[in-house]
Amino acid sequence: MAFGPFLLLALMEGLVTAAVLALAASGLSLVFGVMRVVNVAHGEFYMLGAVLAWVVTTMIPGPPALAFVAALLIAPLIVATLAALADGLILKRLAYDPEATIVATIGLLYMIQQAALSLYGPNANPVRAPFEWRIQLPWFGYSGYKLFVVLAALAVLLALWLFMTRTKAGLIMRATQVDRTTACAFGINVDRVYMSTFALGAGLAALAGVLVVPIQQAHYLMGGDPLLLSFIVVIIGGLGSLRGTLIAALVIGLSDGVISMFFTPTLAKILATLLVAMVLVFRPQGLFGAKA
Amino acid sequence: MTNLLHPSRRGLLMAGGAGLLTAALPGHVAAQGAPIKIGFQLHRTGIGAAYGRWYERTAQAALKAINDGGGIAGRPVELLFEDDATDPKRGSEVVDKLTQSDGCDLVMGTLFSHVVMGSAPRAGELKVPYLVCSEGYHVASGALNRWTLQPGITDVRAQISTMAPWVAANLGKKVTMVFPDYAFGHDHRDFFTTAIQAQGGEVIAQIAVPPTETSFTRYFPQIPTETEVLYHVMVGPAVLTFVKELGEFYGTGAKPALFGFIDSLEAVDTATPGLEFLEGSHFWEAHPRVKPADAGEHEAAYRAAVGVDDNGASVSDAADVSTYSHMFSTWETLYFIKQSMEAAGYTGPADRQKLVEAMEAISDLPYGIERPQGAKRFNGKTHQVFGSQNISQVQGGKLVKVHTTTIEEGVYEDAVDYTTMSF
Amino acid sequence: MTGGGVKPWALHLALIAVLLTAQFWLSPYHATNLARIMVLAVFAMGYNLAFGYTGLLSLGHALLLAAGMYAAGLPAQLWGWGAGPAFIAGVAGGGLMAAALGLLALRTAGVSFMIVTLMFAQAGYLTLLYFAPVTGGDDGFAVAAASRRLLGFDLSTDTPRFLAALLIFAAGLLISLALIRSPFGRTMVAMRENEERSRMLGYNPFTVKLAALTISGLYSGAAGAAYALLFGYVGASFATIQYSILPMLYVLLGGAGTTLGPFLGALVMFTLIEVATGLTSAYLFFVGAALVALVLFAPKGILGTIRERWVRWLP
């Protein structure tokens, strides 16, 4: 393939990677930013979203678009409820101690994975995209749904930004993020803020899972990758900075796409990983945002 | 749901408790009814889980058939399944547990080759026969030991070599290969490249995809335009994504002929939306998933026993597609164990060495219910079995068998003689 | 922390003595598993020195384990090195890799450090795959019998393997006890508790942390090399993220910042899986539930909680 179309494809793929990253990372950015806890089970919430999307779309008859919209609403709600429960029953009792939280969320990860394997099975199952639309360029074809995911990611990030900056709930969350003690003194129910933040973060992960599943497949081990990538995006973007999350996702996604043009795949992966690591080494506070 | 309700291995053990008691008694009593215990190293969790489930079902079906037919040398047979999480370290621990803690007579069933590599040394130390169902070239290459054998499935090297002549004659001579960047993919790369050269063809590009990858489109532009045949093989949960993205990439434009290993679509329905572009393309199959018109006389009985319909899906759920081209190996391995145990006059773990020698002495394995995939030839020196292979074409969304190779086409020169090694 | 006089030494030596006798009263199966646990515990002890004492939360220790494993396994495979030199190469390999990792990653701290170490480990894993013709890729390779002999003993047989594992474990345990009771050990803890203050006291945090991480790497390398030589297998799966999480889990479970915690954590985790797989095929669920329960009722790990409530002198 000629260089031009090749570059175009690499950029489009990079953009889609960036969108998936931004979607998966937005929830983590929130939880990490506000609560300062490392939620190792974040990827499992994403997986649950995808698996529930499969369950919902196979249960609801009718056009795929309708079933998909139902999945978009139902899956995040279920996952958010589950997360709220986990917060109330486990994390709150640990007083959000960083180390204890890591062990507890590793425990959660095992439990969710096993439940998915036992109830859903080990197969990777496809979920139909809400619409079938292929773009046929002169050099290659491309999935229209992938481009939709890019737009959806932008919409979700925008909505989240509006929520955080323009609503009272968002203001309370940001206040808690900046100073927990003062927020407490001002009569903010920090426990409730934490629970809703954790639920919202998990819901966002599930939403990402639903949006991504027509591109990938619903599989019980699919949570591992987004977990790692989300952490990377959140750190590089700077703690609690949504703008940073978006830009970091773009940087990582596009560099991943473009590097893959010039090297054999595994070598490209090694170089892309090292590149991101080096960015962190030489800009430990992330590209944007306040010091961690 | 089935997993949670599944009787645990420990439960099986207790049920066999009476048998255990008799096993402690002198030999002639054992011959009357102490069960032979076969440990099964199962990929119940981890990336191999989709295969593991069908390996378990097929082995259970073979176990029932063998026990209904009077067991092995008149003794009932018991299978003990233990999850290895598709991990080499856990794999060797499982070999240990099955052999030392559960007292199994031998261990079988591993599919993923890194688990085989991690477990085989321990089997060698414990001096317990270890019969893998992995199709890796690791056994015949000489990398393992006297105790490790592969009697149930042809290895990748032989499978691939038999494909090259047909590909060169029917699809084209300029081949681009896409394969996973680990041992299984490297076997494909090395052996197909040599085999197609022997046919006057050439591999013009090799695209090795890292195993951690979940998205593949970005690598497709590396496929040269002059490619006549695109040879693809992928394993793991991302296989469907891979095939779908390949379809999106080529779309309605001109595309090379596609030749894939069914591994790219094991446990996946070929009629899945998004796979329409596979229409007319060809796949290697060890055991045709869709029952061919000229299927052997035992095919129906085998499918019924395992619970698979004529399309290769579960009889209870048409969406639950089997790993048909791999799972027969567990069935055939169990019958191989029966044959060799009876030939060796096996009575207990003290006869393990005699058992391996009896296995090494086996060569012709004719077609029958014992070998539903087809007749085989076992090479006692390389510990590897050889069988015929099939090529199927996707027609109307279904795999239709179009070609069958002979056993001879896959035979290659011995790389090792395990029989000269010490036990 | 450093109180208790001779009591800690007595406790550690008693544990080693009990383990020495264990091979006589345990079945061969359980003795082999104990050898595995001791090797894993060496890895976890290394992790504990970095994380539990110095406060370096790394998710890249699989890289150090694999460095030791391949530094021992490759010379054995390629040039037929014996077990002795191969083990030394493995320990050195782990230490060198840790020093290199530290030089870069220690420019960061906290969660950034965690992510950076994770990424270097991931790059290391992919590198092992990339150089498959030498490393064997994900398949890895079985270590030849000739390289598994030490001073005439065959390390692939039960008793020599057990004793070798115990020897490495005992050395690791006693060195870690001596280390944390030394002035340098107190500096490490100071780094964890308050980096700024120790800087004002004249310590260079970077040097202290680099030294701690390198020691941690020596331990990890020893564990990797021991696994290769005692259990006869070298493979890239040991470089995956799973093997970075494992030592962290062991340490947190047993008690971070306790010398015996890593061993106890490895023992409990191993036993937990062993028991759970016997009860149900959905064993991961119970392992997960047990972890949650443990952390709810003993948030500082088993020994951390015991030290807090009952035995103050526990090192």
- CATH for B2-154+326-387? 3.40.50.2300
Predicted confidence at residue B13, as pLDDT, reads 39
pLDDT at position C1 over 70: no
B272 with A126: CB under 8 angstroms? yes
- Residues of A engaging C, defined by a Cβ cutoff of 8 Å: 32, 38, 90, 93-94, 97, 99-100, 102-104, 106-115, 117-118, 224, 228, 231-232, 235, 266-267, 269-270, 273-274, 276-278, 280-282, 284, 286, 292
Q: pLDDT confidence of C309, banded at 50, 70, 90?
A: confident
pLDDT at position B27 over 60: no
Domain assignment present for A287: no
Pick C197 or B12 by higher pLDDT.
Answer: C197
Range of weakest confidence among A251-260, B95-104, B315-324: A251-260
pLDDT at position C39 over 90: yes
Predicted confidence at residue B313, as pLDDT, reads 92
Tokens encoding C116: 């950076």
C254 with C301: CB under 8 angstroms? yes
Q: What is the rounded average pLDDT of the residues B174-186?
A: 89
Q: Which amino acid is at B10?
A: R
Inter-chain residue contact A108 with C118, CB threshold 8 Å: no
Helices and strands, counts by H and E, chain B? 13, 17
B13 with B97: CB under 8 angstroms? no
Q: What residues of chain A lie within 8 A of the CB of C130, using their CB? A: 266-267, 270
Percentage of chain B surpassing pLDDT 70? 92
Inter-chain residue contact A93 with C296, CB threshold 8 Å: yes
Domain assignment present for A291: no
Q: What residues of chain A lie within 8 A of the CB of C295, using their CB? A: 94, 100, 103-104, 107
Q: What is the b/e burial string over B317-352, where b = at least 16 CB atoms within 10 angstroms of the residue's CB?
A: eeebbbbbbbbbbbbbbbbbbbbbbebbebbebebb
Inter-chain residue contact A126 with B274, CB threshold 8 Å: yes
pLDDT digits (tens, 9 = 90+) for C276-292: 887 777 778 888 888 88
Torsion angle, alpha carbons of A102, A104, A106, A108, to 10 = -140
Domain assignment present for A292: no
pLDDT at position B201 over 80: yes
Largest CA distance in chain B: 73
Q: pLDDT confidence of B119, banded at 50, 70, 90?
A: very high
B237 with A126: CB under 8 angstroms? no
Tokens encoding B27: 């030999």
Predicted confidence at residue B149, as pLDDT, reads 95
Q: What is the mean pLDDT of chain A?
A: 86
Number of domains, chain A: 1
Q: pLDDT confidence of B23, banded at 50, 70, 90?
A: very low
Q: What is the rounded average pLDDT of the residues B181-187?
A: 86
pLDDT at position B24 over 60: no
Nearest CA in chain C to A90: C296
In a mutagenesis test of the C interface, which of A270, A283, A285, A288 is the best target, namely the one with the most C β-carbons within 10 Å? A270
Spatial separation of the C-alpha atoms in residues C124 and B88, rounded to whole Å:
18
Q: What angle do CA B78, B83, B88 make, to 5 degrees?
A: 120
What is the DSSP secondary-structure string of A13-79? HHHHHHHHHHHHHHHHHHHHHHH----TTHHHHHHHHHHHHHHHHHHS-S-HHHHHHHHHHHHHHHH
Inter-chain residue contact C108 with A117, CB threshold 8 Å: no
Spatial separation of the C-alpha atoms in residues C143 and C156, rounded to whole Å:
10
Asked if B316 has any chain A CB less than 8 Å from its own CB, the reply is no
Q: Do domains B2-154+326-387 and B156-285+388-410 have the same CATH topology?
A: yes
Predicted confidence at residue C199, as pLDDT, reads 84
Range of weakest confidence among A122-136, B101-115, B360-374, C201-215: A122-136
> For position A79, which CATH number holds?
1.10.3470
Beta bridge partners of B37: B78
Q: What residues of chain B lie within 8 A of the CB of A259, using their CB? A: none
ipTM for the complex? 0.88
Predicted confidence at residue C286, as pLDDT, reads 81
Nearest to A141 among B49, B239, B248 (CB): B248
- 3 state SS of A194: helix
Pick A256 or B383 by higher pLDDT.
Answer: B383
B281 with B257: CB under 8 angstroms? yes
Burial class (CB in 10 A: 0-12, 13-18, 19+), C79: exposed
pLDDT digits (tens, 9 = 90+) for B40-81: 999 988 888 888 999 999 999 999 999 999 999 999 999 999
Domain assignment present for A243: yes
B47 with B111: CB under 8 angstroms? no
B336 with B151: CB under 8 angstroms? yes
pLDDT at position B9 over 50: no
Spatial separation of the C-alpha atoms in residues B396 and B276, rounded to whole Å:
9
Q: What is the rounded average pLDDT of the residues C201-223?
A: 93
Q: pLDDT confidence of C242, banded at 50, 70, 90?
A: confident
Distance from CA of A214 to the nearest CA of C (A): 27
In a mutagenesis test of the A interface, which of B176, B218, B226 is the best target, namely the one with the most A β-carbons within 10 Å? B218
Inter-chain residue contact B50 with A124, CB threshold 8 Å: yes
Helix (H) or strand (E) holding B386: strand B384-387
C227 with C247: CB under 8 angstroms? no
Q: pLDDT confidence of C200, banded at 50, 70, 90?
A: confident
Distance from CA of C82 to the nearest CA of A (A): 33
Nearest to B114 among C235, C281, C284 (CB): C235
Superfamily designation of domain B156-285+388-410: Response regulator (3.40.50.2300)
Q: What residues of chain C lie within 8 A of the CB of A111, using their CB? A: 284-285, 288-289, 292
Asked if B213 has any chain A CB less than 8 Å from its own CB, the reply is yes
CB neighbours of C12 closer than 8 A, spacing ≥ 6? C173, C174, C177, C259, C260
A118 with C285: CB under 8 angstroms? yes
Inter-chain residue contact A99 with C256, CB threshold 8 Å: yes
CB neighbours of C60 closer than 8 A, spacing ≥ 6? C101, C105, C116, C117, C118, C119, C120, C121, C244
Spatial separation of the C-alpha atoms in residues C7 and C11, rounded to whole Å:
6
Predicted confidence at residue A164, as pLDDT, reads 87
B196 with B168: CB under 8 angstroms? yes
Nearest to A141 among B46, B52, B253 (CB): B253
pLDDT at position C28 over 50: yes
pLDDT at position A46 over 80: yes
pLDDT digits (tens, 9 = 90+) for C156-199: 889 999 999 999 999 999 999 999 999 988 888 888 888 888 88
Q: What is the rounded average pLDDT of the residues C253-265?
A: 92
CB neighbours of B401 closer than 8 A, spacing ≥ 6? B285, B288, B290, B292, B390, B391, B392
pLDDT at position A32 over 50: yes
Pick C19 or C202 by higher pLDDT.
Answer: C19
Nearest CA in chain C to A271: C123
Query: Look-up: residue for tokens 């009952």?
Result: C310
Helix (H) or strand (E) holding C295: helix C283-297
Q: What residues of chain A lie within 8 A of the CB of C127, using their CB? A: 270
Spatial separation of the C-alpha atoms in residues B237 and B43, rounded to whole Å:
14
Nearest to B111 by CA among B247, B267, B245, B260: B267
Range of weakest confidence among A174-183, B44-53, C55-64: A174-183
Query: Look-up: residue for tokens 């959905």?
Result: C282
Asked if C170 has any chain A CB less than 8 Å from its own CB, the reply is no
pLDDT digits (tens, 9 = 90+) for C84-127: 999 999 999 999 999 999 999 999 888 788 889 989 999 999 99
Pick A167 or B264 by higher pLDDT.
Answer: A167
Q: What residues of chain A lie within 8 A of the CB of B225, using their CB? A: 1
Q: What is the rounded average pLDDT of the residues B8-26?
A: 41
Inter-chain residue contact A265 with B208, CB threshold 8 Å: yes
Domain ranges of chain C: 9-240
Spatial separation of the C-alpha atoms in residues B10 and B83, rounded to whole Å:
13
Range of weakest confidence among A197-211, B84-98, C143-157: C143-157
Spatial separation of the C-alpha atoms in residues B317 and C242, rounded to whole Å:
34
Q: How many CB atoms lie within 10 A of CB A184?
A: 14
Range of the domain at A8: 3-282
Q: Which amino acid is at B213?
A: E
Distance from CA of C193 to the nearest CA of B (A): 36
- 3 state SS of B398: strand
Q: pLDDT confidence of B6, banded at 50, 70, 90?
A: very low
Inter-chain residue contact A141 with B210, CB threshold 8 Å: no
Pick B254 or B103 by higher pLDDT.
Answer: B103
pLDDT at position B2 over 80: no
Distance from CA of C235 to the nearest CA of B (A): 8
pLDDT at position B28 over 60: no
Domain ranges of chain B: 2-154+326-387, 156-285+388-410
Tell me chain C's radius of gyration from C-alpha atoms. 19
Q: Which amino acid is at C275?
A: V
Q: pLDDT confidence of A286, banded at 50, 70, 90?
A: low
In eight-state DSSP terms, residue B265 is G
Nearest to A94 by CA among A29, A157, A35: A35
Domain assignment present for A290: no
pLDDT at position A288 over 90: no
Q: What is the mean pLDDT of chain C?
A: 90
CB pairs under 8 A between A and C: 119
